[in-house]
Chains A and B, each alone.
Chain A
Amino acid sequence: QQQVKQSPQSLIVQKGGISIINCAYENTAFDYFPWYQQFPGKGPALLIAIRPDVSEKKEGRFTISFNKSAKQFSLHIMDSQPGDSATYFCAAPRETGANNLFFGTGTRLTVIP
């Protein structure tokens, strides 16, 4: 069954440190891998996404690394801040079409001041 495995389930990082969240996928309809950020009581917001023509994408302090041969991708948050404390979800396109995504189980990040 197609799925996305996300780790760790929770992460505690000191302010200024690097937060790393990993995801592994099986099969996808298309190489497009987004990351979502969700604050308590809010809907997930698209944070950053990577397409197949690059192995890395950086937007500010957030970087996605993509390893196609290993079927893995990761999110790195540099200089982590308390405001980054949230739950992060990775996702991958499902093979069922309709632009459906398969979401990871989420990582709760806590950045300690």
Chain B
Amino acid sequence: SQTIHQWPATLVQPVGSPLSLECTVEGTSNPNLYWYRQAAGRGLQLLFYSVGIGQISSEVPQNLSASRPQDRQFILSSKKLLLSDSGFYLCAWSRRYEQYFGPGTRLTVT
């Protein structure tokens, strides 16, 4: 069976600090991978998606970036966090149109 992991589970970072969130998927190969952000009580905003190693598509221009160094690894990064970067970050993988989400990372920028 497939499993998706995200870490850390929670993170508190000061404004201007760097960010690195990691997502890994087990039990499948060559999945499409996604990063979403969810503001408190809000919907899901697609940030990045990837159809293969090194292939990243950005949905929303911002100070975040994503990388896919391995087939089942997806990383979300920032060089300098903003207050507006606070939120619940979700990684997902898909098989056809069925997307499966990870447990999420709660990021608070102070």
Residues of chain A touching chain B, judged by Cβ–Cβ distance below 8 Å, are 30, 32, 34, 36, 41-46, 49, 89, 91, 93, 98-101, 103-106, 108
Contacts and interface: CB of A to CB of B under 8 A. Distances in A.
Contact of B43 (A34, A100, A103): A103
Interface of B: 32, 34, 41-44, 46, 49, 51, 57, 90, 92, 94, 96-104, 106
Contacts of A106: 42-43
Nearest to B104: A43
B98 A44 contact: no
Contacts of B41: 108
A75 to B, nearest CB: 16
Nearest to B95: A99
Given A98-B57, A104-B43, A42 B98 contact: no
10 contacts: A34-B99, A43-B90, A43-B92, A49-B98, A98-B49, A99-B99, A100-B49, A101-B97, A105-B42, A106-B42
Contacts of B44: 44, 89, 103
Nearest to A51: B97
In the A-B complex, the 8 residue pairs with the closest CB atoms:
A43-B101, A105-B43, A99-B94, A103-B44, A32-B97, A43-B104, A44-B101, A99-B32
A69 B110 CA distance: 49
B68 to A, nearest CB: 13
A89 B98 contact: no
Nearest to A97: B51
Instruction: Select the residue from B42, B46, B92, B97 with max chain A CB neighbours within 10 A.
Output: B97
A51 to B, nearest CB: 9
A42 B99 contact: no
Contacts of A108: 41
